[in-house]
Amino acid sequence: MKIAIAQLNYHIGNFESNEEKIIQAIKKAKSAQADLVVFSELSVCGYPPRDFLEFDDFIDLCEQSVKRIASHCKGIAAIVGAPAKSKLERGKKLHNAAFFLNEGEIKSVHHKSLLPTYDIFDENRYFEAAEKVECIHYKGETIALTICEDLWNINGSYLYKNSPMETLANEKPHFIINIAASPFSKNQAKNRHKIFEWNAKKYALPIFYVNHVGAQTELIFDGSSSVYNKNGEECCRLNSFEEDIRFFDTQELDDVKNHSELEEEKYSLIENALVLGVRDYFKKLNFKTATLGLSGGIDSALTLAIAVKALGSESVIPILMPSQFSSDHSIDDSIELCENLKCKAHTIEIEPIYNSFGQQLAPLFKGLDFDVTEENIQSRIRGTLLMAHTNKFGSILLNTSNKSELAVGYGTLYGDMAGGLSVIGDLYKTEVYGLSKFINRNDEVIPDNIITKEPSAELRPDQKDSDSLPDYDILDEILFQYIEEHQSPQQIIKSGQDEQLVHRVLRMVNINEYKRHQAPPILRISQKAFGMGRRMPIVGKYLI
């Protein structure tokens, strides 16, 4: 059997666009004489549709779209993902389903069995799990059709009581198809490989895996659809971070050679993911231009470099807002960066505005020393100016905070935490440096002085981040152990970290939860990003 894998970039709720892409891929596969073309999980409506699924009209539009797609499946079969209405008397009204289309109609509907409810997933909120599973019989082949999580219940990480693949294996299928919506993270390629290798070896069956590509707000889908032979060897992987369609003969999998590297460099993956995240956010919201504040520091420099690669230099407006505390080199470095990226920089001096604030507040603050209040005023002035620019010119403000700062509350609400999208909010500060150096691997895009100088918010004379924070190498390790690995203070201390520092850092993380609840959406590149995937109580006492 000749199978086509169609890895496409869908837009949630954009049925016309999604349907057109699917139909065009069906036509292309048919012209290549494919027997079957496979699309990803919930491809008809986009993933994740979230509370759109609670609208009856949304479900009706899904059904109508599936029927229209089916009408094009003559002389070829297709598998598409969409929600399906449940026929059960009890339980939720919908199933996460895969539709097998052939001869111009819907031949069978297959429901997802294992519904993930962890991290960014919340499928049990909307869907009812499958009551039974069965294979597809087509052109003399028996196909085990699974939907994403249905293959993830493997030895060593059992999250569910049942395994749909064990049931499907009783029908002695010839191969497995897995349609998925698997978001990108730095380690996801290794996790997927483990899953598919295990299943292929256990059942001695080839696996055809098709994933979404594109970004849906904070979630980035890398595609990386792949084919495994019965020995658990990945014999081909589709392009990452772009649409792709490939054709495979089920009898020739062992002869398929992948001429590209299956393992990519960490920072190459992160850069590609963030560029796609920014590009799709603007494209799918139909915004054309981005605004950001440029401080002369590494965070805003990296954000600008990513934004320019995603949107083009003419579509990104950097604004310099120096104060009396800004160093000359910060201004010069920012101007050099803009020249390197061919961006037109704008400058607004904030000292007069800051002085005006001081004059108006003087009676209220009489006799009180300069402190974080005056620092935050500067940040909020900048935030107000940036938002004024976005309002006037219809752009989106890009937030430039990194994960280390967001973790410990090193940011100002309604100031430098403002924005419509956080580009590097899932990058620890050490990763910000690592990605910046990677971007400079061939040419100096980000001026070297920005990378090598000691970081500072420049909100008071001679200020340095190290005045209030430990070295980022130490801080980030503690944060990673706590946020990503869920280690207790005792476990972190046993790893060699200073006891007082550990308690201080964890306290900063926990008492600043309220700030992160007000942060913009953060592009997710780790397995535990701030936002929808990390749900912590704001007023919790634990570890404080």
Which sequence positions are flagged as catalytic?
41, 112, 148
Q: What phi, psi does 84 have (nearest 5°)? A: -130, 140
**Helix or strand holding residue 304 (H, E):** helix 298-311
Measured from the Cβ of residue 202, the count of other Cβ atoms closer than 10 Å reads 15
- CB-based contacts of 182: which residues, under 8 Å, 6+ apart? 148, 188, 192, 211, 212, 221
Using CA atoms, how far residue 145 sits from 27, 29, 458, in Å, is: 22, 19, 57
Are 325 and 463 in contact, with CB atoms under 8 Å apart? yes
484 DSSP 8-state letter: I
The Cα 485–Cα 500 span in angstroms is: 20
Report residue 401 as tokens: 């905070």
Q: State the SS3 of 445-472.
A: CCCHHHHHCCCCCCCCCCCCHHHCCCCH
Residues recorded for the chain: 544
Helix (H) or strand (E) holding 387: helix 372-393
Q: How many CA atoms lie within 13 A of 101 on its CB side?
A: 29
Task: Give the DSSP per-residue string, 234-271.
Answer: EEEEPPBTS-EEEEEETT-GGG----S-SS--HHHHHH
Answer yes or no: are the C-beta atoms of 134 and 150 closer than 8 Å.
Answer: no
Helix, strand, coil tally for the chain in percent (to 5): 40, 20, 40
Q: Note the Cα 279 to chain centre separation in Å.
A: 12
Do the bridges between strand 219-222 and strand 213-216 make them parallel or antiparallel, or are there none, so unpaired?
antiparallel
Token look-up 């897995």 returns: 178
* Strands, E assignment, 405-457: 421-422
Per the omega criterion (within 30 degrees of 0), is the bond before 48 cis? yes
